[in-house]
Amino acid sequence: MILKLCKSWLKINLKKYIKNEKNYFSLKWRSRNLLLLSLVAILSISISVTAITSYNFVKGLLLDSLKQQALLKTQKGEEDIDNWLAIRKTEIKTLANSIVVRSLDWSLMEPYLQSELKRLQTFLLMASVKPDGTLRNTQGDVLDVRDREFFQRSITGETVAADPIIGRTTNQLQIQISSPIPDKTGTKTAGVLMGGIPINRVIEVVNNLHQGKGSYAFALNSQGVPIAHPDTRLIGTPEKAAKSFLNSANPRLVEITQRMVSRRTNIELAQLDGKWNYVAYTPLREANWSIALIVPQENIESPLQALNILATVLGGLLIVGLISAWRQLQLYEEIRQRALISSQQAQQLSNTLRELQNTQAQLIHTEKMSGLGQLVAGVAHEINNPVNFIHANLNHASEYTKGILDLLKLYEQTYPNPTPEISELTQDLDIEFLAEDLPKLMTSMQVGTRRIRQIVLSLRNFSRLDEADMKMVDIHEGLDNTLMILNHRLTATPERSEIEIIRKYGDLPQIECYAGQLNQVFMNVLVNAIDALEAASEERKLQTVKTNPNHIRIQTQLDKLTQDAIVQIYDNGIGMCDEVKRRVFDHMFTTKPVGKGIGLGMAIAYEIVVEKHAGSIQVNSTLGRETEFTIRIPLISKK
């Protein structure tokens, strides 16, 4: 470009001076034009480099974000299958450690396992396997399973979910969940307990994994053989041989399969079936399997078309600006104007980059909340299993305790004159006190487990991981679950006073919404209210706090005219000034100290309420006195 500009400049000046001077070397350079030409060249190079660099940077950020969405969907499917398998493993492991199963007496085990099959309604059958590989199942079969994966792994002490097989008894494709049966000492493996479950749940989760037209998902076992695939001809088991993807004619598919078998997580571009696709894959924790989501390239990169059009327009504008600047080289004012236009374009590009950075920060915050929700649900799940086991066994323990106490009373009535040894032990143990206190102790333990189960239920309801789509929910349940999560910040401590919660719930029907996202709105608003009350407590005098205690009032009602559910959250904290009220929903705006807030909470709440639910959120506040947020959500989604 610079060489062409110089040649054109020479031609123009040669034609101008050739009439007056015959000698070519007498041509004098016009330093001013050369300076202007140099400035134009330098400016064009600078703007081009800046535009190309900014374009590539923004494109990379947006593409990475879009790819991560596909990978997160795959990981969500993996979490669903892992949670399901973990529950099944816990059920089998619990049964394997029960007294009946550890007895290894099939005459006792068989009716017990039959009753558990009816109770759980998940397993096709259950079986006990001796160390020599002899299996007896609840369908009356006796088999040799020494060659089965589940037996070989569980006899060594491992609780496993083996690769799917076609059961020798049921002739159905099933997953065998097995756990070692400890001996009486609990130090050795006395046998294996196995439960067969249909693979339908895995197939259902895989079939529901989509991201746009033409996308699909599949699952591979530890050998790279599909166990769930839209093309059922590719699915294989040890009894029905199928080609492993490790032996595919497509080298890219072989590479990806090797990484999946090696239990890696990634998303990469590959050509499959003659088309370019993004392949997002991730391993399961509870089994040696992996899930992959195949998304056509255009599904991922279609949002980039708008960015490409913008870059083309900006490039076109730059070229037009350079041509115009060259043609008007002698007009200094126009050159300066062109430079100003270029500067404005660079500023627009900078603004665009800033907006994309805000969007990226919002996406990071959303994913962090999703990760937190998954963590909360996972912790709740891990707590729930042992608590349910304890709670269920407490009922039996109470019955056993009552039976033993009744037996002692009967002994006292039948043998009113005990031996001296029995009398002495009775006095040492204080049998009368034990008989009175032990039922109370069991009752208090049951109350405690019920409280833990209530807390776990609130945690799981708050996370709402299984409710990614819109559905009808009770908005009061979401408010109560959020308050239970925040209960530790509401109770009094030596450093702060109690925050009273005043509930004034109206008669509201269920509303159609994204339950998890709406819980996030309640969480953000209530956290801000608690922060305001804590700040107010530091500023107010003790007498003022006693006469006007810290409180949060939550009021709900139905607007029958607009058919909107109205939620009003009020606090008597420090309030807001007019400037803060105008900017409270802006991205990256916060009045909190560094490290306590980044200015995304209320912006996220505004987006969820207004953009995703077609509702509204407003704030009314008086500085130094009170703040009230009013949230309106349509009963039926307008989206």
- The tens digit of pLDDT for each residue in 117-137 reads 999 899 999 999 999 999 999
How much is the pLDDT for 40? 66
CA proximity to 151, closest of 133, 137, 168:
133
How much is the pLDDT for 129? 94
Q: Which residue has the higher pLDDT, 334 or 257?
A: 257
How much is the pLDDT for 125? 92
User: Strand 500-504 vs strand 189-198: parallel, antiparallel, or unpaired?
Assistant: unpaired
| Alpha-carbon span 172 to 292, nearest angstrom | 24
How much is the pLDDT for 93? 93
CA proximity to 189, closest of 96, 317, 59, 54:
96
Residue 573 three-state SS: coil
How much is the pLDDT for 283? 94
Mean pLDDT of 363-375: 54
Q: Which residue has the higher pLDDT, 78 or 61?
A: 78
| Alpha-carbon span 556 to 567, nearest angstrom | 5
How much is the pLDDT for 419? 81
pLDDT grade for 465, boundaries at 50, 70 and 90: very low
Mean pLDDT of 191-208: 91
How much is the pLDDT for 116? 92
pLDDT grade for 147, boundaries at 50, 70 and 90: confident
- What average pLDDT does the structure give for the chain? 79
Weakest-pLDDT range from 108-112, 234-238, 256-260: 234-238
Residue 466 pLDDT > 60: no
Weakest-pLDDT range from 70-74, 111-115, 419-423: 419-423
pLDDT grade for 514, boundaries at 50, 70 and 90: confident
Residue 2 pLDDT > 50: no
Mean pLDDT of 603-624: 89
How much is the pLDDT for 197? 92
pLDDT grade for 468, boundaries at 50, 70 and 90: low
Residue type, 608: I
How much is the pLDDT for 370? 55
Mean pLDDT of 189-204: 91
How much is the pLDDT for 3? 44
Residue 457 pLDDT > 80: no
Residue 399 pLDDT > 60: yes
pLDDT grade for 329, boundaries at 50, 70 and 90: low
Query: How much helix, strand and coil, in percent to the nearest 5, is found in the chain?
Result: 55, 15, 25
Residue 171 pLDDT > 80: no
For 102-113, the pLDDT digits (tens) are 999 999 999 999
CA proximity to 486, closest of 455, 442, 444, 452:
455
pLDDT grade for 372, boundaries at 50, 70 and 90: low
How much is the pLDDT for 16? 47
CA proximity to 85, closest of 168, 176, 171:
176
Mean pLDDT of 495-505: 89
| 3-state SS record for 324-387 | HHHHCCCCHHHHHHHHHHHHHHHHHHHHHHHHHHHHHHHHHHHHHHHHHHHHHHHHHHHHHHHH
0.75 surpassed by pTM: no
For 534-546, the pLDDT digits (tens) are 888 777 665 566 7
Residue type, 538: E
pLDDT grade for 293, boundaries at 50, 70 and 90: very high
Residue 584 pLDDT > 50: yes
How much is the pLDDT for 327? 64
Q: Which residue is associated with the tokens 């076109």?
A: 316
User: Strand 564-571 vs strand 626-634: parallel, antiparallel, or unpaired?
Assistant: antiparallel
Structure tokens at 158: 């491992």
How would you label 85-103 residue by residue, b for 16+ Cβ within 10 Å and e otherwise?
bbbbbbbbbbbbbeeebbe
Residue 87 pLDDT > 50: yes
pLDDT grade for 598, boundaries at 50, 70 and 90: low
- Residue 490, sorted as left (phi over 0), alpha (psi -120 to 50) or beta, turns out to be alpha
| Alpha-carbon span 489 to 20, nearest angstrom | 92
For 208-228, the pLDDT digits (tens) are 998 888 899 999 988 888 988
How much is the pLDDT for 37? 65
Residue 277 three-state SS: strand
Mean pLDDT of 473-495: 85
How much is the pLDDT for 101? 92
Residue 587 pLDDT > 80: no
**Other CB atoms closer than 10 Å to residue 33's CB: what's the count?**
14
How much is the pLDDT for 376? 59
CA proximity to 193, closest of 106, 288, 115, 284:
106
Q: Which residue has the higher pLDDT, 623 or 445?
A: 623
* 186 Cβ contact partners less than 8 Å away, ≥ 6 residues apart: none
